[in-house]
């Protein structure tokens, strides 16, 4: 499988990665999904301490026994759980990041994290303190590189100009092109990679939508609009390139995108995602056509 350099780092990630959030909480099932993804050639796994209260990291750690050296492992930090508070709360402080990384390392059963990401962020955060925490973790050898997971252009801009991030994880798909206007060009100019999450838009960009549309739509698309768009994409599909694979190839077509991380809760989904690596890339004309069919939506509320 093709590998792309992750920003300015020495990490080379497969263009199809694996988002571990959907593997569930049953250990045997999760391990099987991860092992199959690795056997199919994927080398980039993404998880977070937030997923299932750390259970996701534990399953990933179990799955990587004897395989750690072959994997580029990514997790996230910043969302904190406290028994005396209701739900998760945001804590990007240096003290918490340096405390949380040790717990993630323990759950993942590893001595280091290849890519440690801030799981969110606002302009009101103590950004310099947050950056300092990541830089110290690098110096201590607990992480190799760091990035942020954010859909906020103004927050992304601050980290691009003030830190040494090598990546930004953000939603990017045919149905969510918000990052095209403000983010992708900025990242490309600064040799920072986008890790595209949600590339099939919660399953909306797949053939199955034609049989059973998702009632509540997606972002500023109504269900009927999604069906119409998928019918158009279907016209571009071939025996070797399904609608969902077209969706993955669309996200990968932008030079700032290093990898896409579709999730999978079944083995069939793993195989479908991996096939996109062998599918023909979209032509310039096909990309232009897809852009005409879809909306050039932009960030309004998340700034």
**DSSP state string for 242-298:** -HHHHHHHHHHTSTTEEEE--B-SSHHHHHHHHHTTTSPPPPHHHHHHHHHHS----
Which pLDDT score, from 0 to 100, does residue 303 have? 67
Rounded to the nearest integer, the mean pLDDT of the chain is: 94
CB atoms under 10 Å from CB of 67, counted, come to 11
pLDDT the model gives residue 240: 85
pLDDT attached to residue 84: 61
In a domain, 300, yes or no: no
Residues with catalytic roles: 51
> pLDDT tens across 146-191, in order?
999 999 999 999 999 999 999 999 999 999 999 999 999 999 999 9
Q: pTM, whole model, 2 decimals?
A: 0.95
Q: Which of 272, 174, 181, 282 is nearest to 229 (CA)?
A: 174
Q: Is 221 helix (H, G, I), strand (E, B) or coil?
A: strand
What are the angstrom distances between the C-alpha of 45 and each of 68, 73, 113, 294? 11, 5, 11, 29
- CATH number of the domain that 236 lies in? 3.20.20.100
What interhelical angle do 94-108 and 127-139 show, nearest 10? 40
Which is it for strands 44-46 and 143-149: parallel, antiparallel or unpaired? unpaired
In a domain, 246, yes or no: yes
- 109 phi-psi bin (left φ>0, alpha ψ -120 to 50, beta other): left
User: In the chain, which residues have pLDDT < 70?
Assistant: 82-86, 213, 303
Q: Judge whether 302 lies within some domain.
A: no
Domain count, the chain: 1
* Rounded Cα–Cα distance for residues 25 and 191 (Å): 36
Residue 81 inside a domain? The answer is: yes
Range of the domain at 197: 3-293
Residue 299 lies in a domain: no
DSSP output for 148-214: EE---HHHHHHHHHHS---EEEEE-SSS--THHHHTHHHHHHTT-EEEEE-TTTTTTSSGGGGTS--
| pLDDT given for residue 83 in this prediction | 58
How many of the other CB atoms lie within 10 Å of CB of 169?
Answer: 26
pLDDT of 299: 82
The answer to whether residues 60 and 20 touch, using CB atoms and an 8 Å cutoff, is yes
Counting every residue written for the chain, the total comes to 303
| Distinct helix (H) and strand (E) counts, the chain | 11, 12
Q: What pLDDT is recorded for position 217?
A: 87
């Amino acid at each position: 499988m093709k590998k792309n350099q992750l920003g300015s780092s020495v990490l080379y990630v497969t263009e199809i990665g694996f988002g571990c959030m959907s593997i569930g909480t049953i250990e045997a099932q999760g391990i099987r999904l991860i092992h199959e993804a690795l056997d199919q050639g994927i080398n980039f796994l993404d998880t977070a301490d937030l997923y299932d209260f750390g259970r996701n990291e534990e399953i990933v750690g179990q799955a990587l026994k004897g395989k750690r050296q072959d994997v580029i492992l990514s997790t996230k930090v910043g969302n904190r759980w406290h028994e005396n508070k209701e739900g998760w709360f945001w804590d990007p402080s240096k003290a918490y990041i340096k405390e949380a990384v040790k717990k993630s390392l323990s759950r993942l059963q590893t001595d280091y994290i290849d890519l440690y990401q801030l799981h969110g962020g606002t302009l009101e955060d103590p950004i310099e303190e947050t950056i300092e925490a990541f830089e110290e973790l690098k110096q201590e050898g607990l992480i190799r590189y760091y990035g942020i997971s954010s859909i906020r252009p103004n927050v992304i801009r601050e980290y691009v100009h003030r830190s040494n991030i090598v990546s930004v994880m953000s939603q990017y798909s045919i149905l969510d092109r918000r990052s095209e206007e403000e983010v992708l060009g900025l990242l490309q100019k600064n040799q920072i990679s986008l890790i595209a999450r949600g590339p099939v838009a919660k399953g909306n960009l797949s053939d199955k939508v034609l049989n059973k549309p998702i009632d509540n739509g997606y972002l500023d698309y109504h269900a009927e609009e999604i069906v119409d768009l998928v019918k158009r994409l279907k016209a571009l599909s071939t025996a070797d390139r399904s609608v969902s694979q077209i969706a993955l190839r669309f996200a990968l077509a932008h030079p700032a995108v290093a990898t896409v991380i579709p999730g999978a809760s079944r083995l069939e989904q793993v195989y479908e995602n991996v096939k996109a690596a062998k599918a023909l890339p979209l032509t310039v004309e096909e990309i232009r056509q897809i852009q005409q069919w879809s909306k050039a939506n932009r960030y309004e509320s998340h700034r």
